[in-house]
Amino acid sequence: MTRYKIVIQYDGTNFSGFQSQKNLSGIQDKIESSIFVLNNNKKVKIHGASRTDAGVHALGQVAHFDLDSKLTDKELRRAINARLDKEIRISHLSKIEESFHSRFDAKSKEYNYLCCLSDNPLYLKDHYHVKNIDIKLLMEVSKIIEGKHNFLSFSKFSNKQNNDCEIFASKWVFDDKNHEKLLYIIHGNRFLHHMVRYLVGSMIAVSQNKISIDDFRTLLNQPIKDAKIFKAPSNGLVLKEIFYEN
């Protein structure tokens, strides 16, 4: 039995998230169904590194699975892709050590969040349309997030004992050439449920003077459960990359 590591790209618009669902509408279900045919109609379970939610996209989701196959890595990747929905693609496939685990071996993750400053219909599907924002204030509040914090205020209600995350980078990038686009980049060792969407929604609210930067700082420094804050929609969120030791 050989263990394979795969990197997955997907448009999550029409799917119920990465994780397997009862109605088989998860990205995981689609990939397992494709491998099923290549394994003499026997199920092969894939293990994903991140459980992206419904509507969230990925450029660098990682997963692993075990399979006996005589195909080369290139042939196997092509065979899986040939049976997948057009919104899902395996961009990389390779053999990996048997001890590798896509989730537990991950050291950090980078998410991107895509915003558009106009109602250009070409961007509305996978961008969050925002207006009347103070970009300078938006960039200022993003720096507060960097470092190690308890992000309980910026997550869906959770019973997790550990809500600490270390954020290595948090920044907004304004496209000077295309004034319609705004990109948020966040890189951290771990993320709580809906954390990036709550952070983005709250930062946008600060930039629109709906809440103050001091209110944001208080939510971060004095974490509370079920905080009444702003959440950005799922369609702008992209799992950009997952980092490992090597």
What distances in angstroms separate CA 95 from CA 3, 65, 170, 176, one per listed residue?
6, 10, 33, 41
* Total residue length of the chain: 246
Residues 6+ apart with CB under 8 A from 99: none
85 assigned to active site = no
Q: How many CB atoms lie within 10 A of CB 202?
A: 25
User: Looking at 11, 53, 214, 226, which residue is catalytic?
Assistant: 53
CA distance 212 to 231: 16
Structure tokens given for 50:
């991140």
* Buried/exposed 137-166: b ≥16 CB within 10 Å, e otherwise: bbbebbebbbeebbbbbbbeebeeeebebe
CA 132 to each of CA 129, 197, 204, 205: distance values in angstroms, whole numbers, following the listed order: 11, 19, 10, 10
Q: What is the largest CA-CA distance in the chain?
A: 60
Which tokens is 226 given? 């079920």
Task: Enumerate the active-site residues.
Answer: 53
